[in-house]
Amino acid sequence: MRLDVRSIPYRAGESVTRLVWLVAIVAITGGNDTSLAPPALLLAGAVVLVVALAAGYQVLYFRRFTYDLTDQTFDIRSGIVSRRTREIPLRRIQNVDIAANPVQRALGIAEVRLETAGGSGTEATLRYVSRSEARRLQDDIGRLNRGESAVEDADAERYTDADGDDPLFAITMRELFLLGFVSVDLRILSFLSVGVPLFAPSLGDVVAPTRPLLVQLSPITLGVGGLLVLYTVAALVGGLVAVTNYYGFTLRRAHDELRYERGLLQRYSGTIPLDKVQSLSIKANVLARAIGHGSLAVVTAGYAPGEGGSQSAVPFAERDRVVSLAQSIESFDDPEYVRPPKRARTRYAIRYLAVALGVVALAYAVVRFTPLDGAWWGTLVLLPVVPVAAQATWSARGYAIQGDYVLARNGYVVQREVVVPYHRIQTVTTASTVFQRRRDLATLVVDTAGSGGYGGQDAQAVDIDTEDADRLREEVERRMHTAVAERRSQHHRERTESLRDTTGPVDDGPSADRTTDPA
Amino acid sequence: MTTADGDADHASEEAADTSVESDREALSGPMRSLDPRVRYVWVTQALLTAAVLGAIVGGIAYAVERLLWPGVVVFALFGLVSVLLAVARYRIWRYQVRTDSLFLDRGVFTRVRTVVPYVRIQHVDANRGPVERGAGLATVVVYTAGSRGADVTIPGLTPEDAEELQERLKRLAIVAEGEDAV
């Protein structure tokens, strides 16, 4: 099959626009010596030529690009100069994503991206197909993966699959508003809140001789005022981003897939195959927790590391709802987290004290040895915060071992709970640094194939007793083996059953097969 | 027809299971430490780094102040630390080919113990760098689909050991033959 015809003008337009930008930049930087400007006729000719070239190239691209969805694979043949043929086994496809920006939406076209676990990026991109074709691909790839056939009589069912059902989750305007309100990067704020009272007056000093006025404003008032302004700006930006990203978010379940749609300007739609879920992560920052809300993300193995392998399943909702939705995907129990031993808290207190003293020393050094002048003692405010922060960090940490899942919770400012099914575990590691060993503590890391494993996406039980860590490492491994074996025999059963269904005599009811199944 | 098939399947499965068990037992082994010569590899590698560092520092010091000793001191300090580290690292390093998983225990500053279930092994490499070749040693790297992929490295094996370990892990991985890793 081919791309949508409307992709030709769009793609040509895209390349011409890029060129126009280039020309514009050259023209602006090149000065305004009008005597050197080419005659209007020549200019018009050049424009026509460029447009014709772009259009011609895109026509060739269009004619050379074919794709085909077979029962087993998705095949793409493309390339004008060097030809490429690519076959992607359907079973390996992790996600099918659709994106369309406002212009594409006006034209009725969309971009389709197929993600697999291998490779360093998106496995295949179709630029662009009609919106209904994009939908059809999303539906049929899911259908073929389930072992149903794509072509026959699907139409009637298709639209009940994905469109007719009540969504599992649809974001309300109120939730969207609250999301904007809480999606402020608190780390930047806390960092600036120290910097502002310290250097704001002195910066004024350096810039302009308006000292009397600035001295009258005490650093603290300025700090509080600055903080408010910063918060407002950050909240506005965060809110705007949240609203454009998650406007009209809906999550639906179609057989064994989840499907989401979102976006105000650029519309996104993606699939999350439930049998490829690596882990779930429930996230909430301090503000969201204060109003009892949180978000849920599903981690699959698609996408390149760093691109973020987790798709938002619920961007923002009340915690109960988030948890119950997560439990409908992976049926874990309400977790009762085991906290680290109290001596871990002492460790955090010492760590934060060292940081605080470092900041104070740095501020003092800056005031003492540079022309900047300010209230360095203002940083002493950090000292009473130390025990509070230690308590907060300690109370946020925990792990839970359940029948089929291991859970871990970390982070106070942004709290993240990770749920890992045993059968998804890749490796189990315990690590203890020199400082941890002094207090007989260790960290248990449960690694999965979910991409973007760096930055604490894994399940980690941080600062637990060394003995517990060793015991848990063995226990988690044992449970993983049991879970994998169980899943394998289940898989095996299902496969032999489906083989019998397809190859066996038609008269044999499926019930007859089941009664004779050895397992 | 289905009944007979099912029973036959079952029987063969059981037979396979028992042979698999004995296979696993035979292939697994006790806790082992690395070949002592790995210390020379580590020391040599560290001394090369120390030499480069020393040359840089020495070069700068000589160019600026006409001094030679800073380079020598940097080289000596770095070299001493690396020798101590290599010895400590060797004393701590242990690995074990268990029945279901590979177990590694290592790390001087951060002590790391890793369990790699055979079901999760994607492929196994055996590497031999120039320094290792000089000492007659090899390294085995075990890859999983996990996000910390290449973390599982066993250095300091004799080429025969490395080959044998590679082969053994391969066989164990096949015996374990899991479902799709992802």
Question: What is the amino acid identity at position A265?
Answer: L
What confidence tier does A414 reach under pLDDT thresholds 50, 70, 90?
Answer: confident
pLDDT-based confidence at residue A223 (cuts at 50, 70, 90): low
Q: Do A433 and B109 touch (CB under 8 A)?
A: yes
Domain count for chain B: 2
Q: Which residue of B has its CA nearest to A427?
A: B116
State the Cα–Cα distance between residues B106 and B91, nearest whole angstrom.
9
Residues B111 and B181 in one domain: yes
Whether B178 and B129 map to the same domain: the answer is yes
Same structural domain, B99 and B81: no
- Is B107 in the same domain as B69? no
Collapsing DSSP to helix, strand or coil, A81 comes out as coil
CA distance A461 to A459: 7
Reported as a single tens digit per residue, the pLDDT across B78-124 is 889 989 999 999 999 999 988 888 999 999 999 999 999 888 888 88
Min Cα distance B70 → chain A (Å) is 28
Check A516 against B111: CB less than 8 A apart.
Answer: no
B152 and B182 co-located in one domain:
yes
Average pLDDT, rounded, for chain A: 80
Element (H, E) at A165: none
Res B5 pLDDT > 80: no
Which CATH number fits the domain that encloses residue B154?
Answer: 2.30.29.30
Q: Do B100 and A477 touch (CB under 8 A)?
A: yes
A513·B10 Cβ contact <8 A:
no
Contact A276 B2 (CB under 8 A): no
B110 lies in some domain = yes
Q: Span B143-172, mean pLDDT?
A: 81
Parallel/antiparallel/unpaired status of strands A124-130 and A169-170: unpaired
**Which residues of chain A neighbour B9 with C-beta distances below 8 Å?**
496, 518
**A402 burial via Cβ count (<10 Å: 0-12, 13-18, 19+):** middle
CA distance B122 to B109: 29
- Minimal Cα distance from A476: which residue of B? B115
| In a domain? residue B47 | yes
Chain A contact probe: residue of B98, B122, B182 with most A CBs at under 10 A: B182
Nearest to A481 among B6, B9, B100 (CB): B100
Shared domain for B142 and B173, answered yes or no, is yes
Q: Where are the domains of chain A?
A: 277-340+397-481, 342-392, 489-516
Q: Using CA coordinates, name the residue in chain B closest to A308.
A: B147
Residue B1 lies in a domain: no
Based on the fold, state whether residues B111 and B75 are members of the same structural domain: no
User: What is the pLDDT averaged over residues A102-129?
Assistant: 84
B115 contacts A428? CB cut-off 8 A = yes
In a domain, B123, yes or no: yes
**Shared-domain flag, residues B74 and B104:** no
Residue A517 has pLDDT above 60, yes or no: no
Share of chain B above pLDDT 90, in %: 30
Higher-confidence residue of B182 and A390: namely: A390
Q: Minimal Cα–Cα distance from B125 to chain A, Å?
A: 18
CA–CA dist A140, A136 (Å, integer): 6
Of B112, B119, B145, the CB nearest to A301: B145
Does residue B144 fall inside a structural domain? Answer: yes
Those residues of chain B whose CB sits closer than 8 Å to some CB in chain A are 1-3, 6-7, 9-10, 100-101, 107, 109-117, 119-120, 144-148, 151-152, 178-182
Rounded to whole angstroms, the Cα distance separating A440 from A430 reads 13
Nearest Cβ partner for A473 among B115, B147, B180: B115
Query: Is residue B56 one of the residues assigned to a domain?
Result: yes
Domain that holds residue B180: 95-182
Query: For residues A274-305, b (16+ Cβ closer than 10 Å) or e, as one string?
Result: bebbbbbbbbbbebbbeeebbbbbbbbbbbee
* C-alpha to C-alpha distance for B101 and B132, rounded to whole angstroms: 26
Q: Would the CB atoms of B182 and A449 count as touching at under 8 Å? A: yes
A167 closest CA partner among A57, A321, A52, A307: A321
Domain contains B30: no
CB-based burial label for A365 (10 Å; 0-12, 13-18, 19+)? exposed
pLDDT band per the 50, 70, 90 thresholds, residue A307: very low
Residues B116 and B151 in one domain: yes
- Whether B50 and B75 map to the same domain: the answer is yes
